[in-house]
Amino acid sequence: MTTTNTTNTIPASTTNAEGTAADRKYVFHSWSAQAQISPVPIAGVKGSVFWDADGKRYLDFCSQLVNLNLGHQHPRLVQAIKNQAEKLCTVAPSFANDARTEAARLIISHAPKGLERVFFTNGGAEAIENAIRMARLHTGRHKVMAAYRGYHGATAGALAATGEPRRWGSEPGVPGLVRYFGPYPYRSSFHSTSPEQETERVLQHLEEVVMFEGPKNVAAILFETVTGTNGVLVPPPGYLAGLRDLCDRHGIMMIADEVMVGFGRMGEWFAVDHWNVAPDLLCFAKGVNSGYIPLGGVLMSGAIADSFKDRPYPGGLTYSGHPLACAVAVESIRTFEDDDVVGQARRMGEEVLGPELRKIAERHPSVGEVRGLGCFWALDLVRNRTTREPLVPFNASGAAAAPMNELMGACKAAGVWPMAHFNRLQVAPPLIITPAEARQGLAMIDQALSVADKYYTE
């Protein structure tokens, strides 16, 4: 049975079963075998909480797709949409628009030094496409190096740059992408025994890849500042400075993908700020306006912007700098400033999420490593701490993925909705989550982890 929602004409499902059935009849979902999914209908949301049509409440420990930095239905963002909708809903990108100008000005005011201009897109993948295009045209070179484990989006170029299984279904992709292994001290591809050694060995590997590809052919090195979905891989000390140096020595553009980790997620405005390194291009999306209206973009150096002073930039989008999306970005950044949201995220990491997750690891042998910063953390789950055998194999599905599915099931049953990816449970709540809510969600995860411990072998 469905009833008519009083505020609009979209029928609201009264139960999970109804909502899921209706959805499955008409909607085709991302990345999924359509008959094997049961999308949960969301009936309501507020701050760090959402609830389903059956009334079950969940703490949103994934910020939806790690985009909801200011939480659900933030009153200032909702009002900004209403105000802008009354004023001007849409305008072609060739006109100037005050919401777009102010969004760009505010973003630049918080960006790493030297990033002076913004090109707006509708999301992350388009930001990556344009950053690659800019780097290629600016340098006159064609190759782009991108890391295994990186995810950069689902358009052709962004997916070709992606270094994990989501790329496989779209191969062969666009030419000119060269892959390398980035740092991952806990599971080092270089047999490193310390983070410092990992930095040294990865930089040596990169130097060799550049040499074999021909430095004069390499336009850019693309990387997630902190690899997000594939493990919250925080770069070891000295790594980003070393990468900056390598790029400078060879005239290679450094492209930081901060689609997931920008705008306070890691406890700084941009993740690169932790290491005081400024890239030549920085891609953002998600947290720029919490995804209330789709928005992404590329921040570029003055030198790159100047490349297109007297020759046209060969790229554009009908909705580049959409006023509704930009108005939410403006209000979001002002809210960050007024409420010290970046400071809140940093303190949440230092005082609650980090320490509490480390205590949880002491109680659960299946937690091999805890890593993260700010409001983004991963538990790398293992079957054995000495061998570090992952709780489930790489890219596990079906029966092989059962331990992680059981663990997620236990989390949801308790009332918390974290991210699960391969053998990791990841925690990414809204940056405005209260310490009490964070502790409540962590207690639920603590309890659920007994499921993972069952698979532990001495």
Ligand X SMILES: Cc1ncc(COP(=O)(O)O)c(C=O)c1O
Applying CB under 6 A, what is the total number of residues that bind ligand X?
A: 16
| Residue nearer to ligand X on the CB measure, 123 or 242 | 123
Spatial contact of 336 and 263, defined as CB atoms under 8 Å apart: yes
Closest residue to ligand X, based on beta-carbon distance: 124
Q: Does residue number 124 form part of the binding site for ligand X (CB under 6 A)?
A: yes
Return the range that interacts with ligand X (CB under 6 A); candidates 104-112, 244-252, 255-263, 386-394: 255-263
Q: Which residues from 57-76 bind ligand X, rule CB under 6 A?
A: 65
Give the C-alpha separation, 387 to 393, whole Å: 13
| Residue nearer to ligand X on the CB measure, 228 or 349 | 228
Q: Does residue number 272 form part of the binding site for ligand X (CB under 6 A)?
A: no
| Residue nearer to ligand X on the CB measure, 255 or 452 | 255
Question: According to CB under 6 A, which one of 47, 153, 163, 374 is a site residue for ligand X?
Answer: 153
Residue 103 CB, nearest distance to ligand X (Å)?
17
Q: Does residue number 274 form part of the binding site for ligand X (CB under 6 A)?
A: no
Residue 39 CB, nearest distance to ligand X (Å)?
18
Return the range that interacts with ligand X (CB under 6 A); candidates 4-12, 223-231, 418-426, 437-445: 223-231
Q: Does residue number 285 form part of the binding site for ligand X (CB under 6 A)?
A: yes
Residue 53 CB, nearest distance to ligand X (Å)?
26
Report which residue type is found at 210: V
Residue 123 CB, nearest distance to ligand X (Å)?
3
| Residue nearer to ligand X on the CB measure, 111 or 283 | 283
Q: Does residue number 229 form part of the binding site for ligand X (CB under 6 A)?
A: yes
Give the C-alpha separation, 342 to 81, whole Å: 23
Residue 255 CB, nearest distance to ligand X (Å)?
11
DSSP line for 352-403:
IIHHHHHHHHHH-TTEEEEEEETTEEEEEEBS-TTT--BSS-TT--GGGGHH
| Residue nearer to ligand X on the CB measure, 163 or 296 | 296
Question: According to CB under 6 A, which one of 71, 185, 228, 267 is a site residue for ligand X?
Answer: 228
| Residue nearer to ligand X on the CB measure, 122 or 301 | 122
- Say what the alpha-carbon torsion angle 243, 182, 140, 173 is, to the nearest 10 degrees: -170
Q: Which residues from 409-438 bind ligand X, rule CB under 6 A?
A: none
Give the C-alpha separation, 2 to 320, whole Å: 38
Count Cα atoms within 13 angstroms, Cβ side, for 296: 26
Report which residue type is found at 134: M
Q: In the chain, what is the greatest distance between 2 CA atoms, to the nearest angstrom?
A: 66
What are the backbone dihedrals phi and psi of residue 382, each rounded to the nearest 5 degrees, phi first?
-130, 160
Q: Does residue number 123 form part of the binding site for ligand X (CB under 6 A)?
A: yes
Question: According to CB under 6 A, which one of 259, 298, 324, 438 is a site residue for ligand X?
Answer: 259
Residue 322 CB, nearest distance to ligand X (Å)?
14
Give the C-alpha separation, 61 to 71, whole Å: 11
Q: Does residue number 279 form part of the binding site for ligand X (CB under 6 A)?
A: no
Whose tokens are 């690891």? That residue is 361
Spatial contact of 66 and 419, defined as CB atoms under 8 Å apart: yes
**Exposed / middle / buried, residue 226 (Cβ in 10 Å: 0-12, 13-18, 19+):** buried
Question: According to CB under 6 A, which one of 52, 164, 257, 356 is a site residue for ligand X?
Answer: 257
Q: Does residue number 373 form part of the binding site for ligand X (CB under 6 A)?
A: no
| Residue nearer to ligand X on the CB measure, 127 or 353 | 127
Q: Does residue number 287 form part of the binding site for ligand X (CB under 6 A)?
A: no
Give the C-alpha separation, 88 to 96, whole Å: 12
Give the C-alpha separation, 87 to 331, whole Å: 15
Q: Does residue number 185 form part of the binding site for ligand X (CB under 6 A)?
A: no
Which contiguous run of DSSP H or E holds residue 189? none
Return the range that interacts with ligand X (CB under 6 A); candidates 100-108, 135-143, 149-157, 194-202: 149-157
DSSP label of 213: H
Return the range that interacts with ligand X (CB under 6 A); candidates 48-56, 68-76, 117-125, 333-341: 117-125
Count Cα atoms within 13 angstroms, Cβ side, for 291: 17
Token duo for residue 153: 């989006």
| Residue nearer to ligand X on the CB measure, 50 or 223 | 223
Token duo for residue 55: 């009334």
Question: According to CB under 6 A, which one of 149, 152, 244, 346 is a site residue for ligand X?
Answer: 152
Closest CA to 431 of 361, 339, 328: 339
Residue 260 CB, nearest distance to ligand X (Å)?
4
Spatial contact of 242 and 203, defined as CB atoms under 8 Å apart: yes
Q: How far is CA 100 from CA 54, 59, 83, 282, 448, in A?
A: 40, 33, 15, 18, 45
Q: Does residue number 125 form part of the binding site for ligand X (CB under 6 A)?
A: yes
Q: How far is CA 129 from CA 40, 144, 222, 228, 369, in A?
A: 32, 11, 11, 19, 34
Binding site for ligand X (CB under 6 A): 65, 123-125, 128, 151-153, 224, 228-229, 257, 259-260, 285, 296
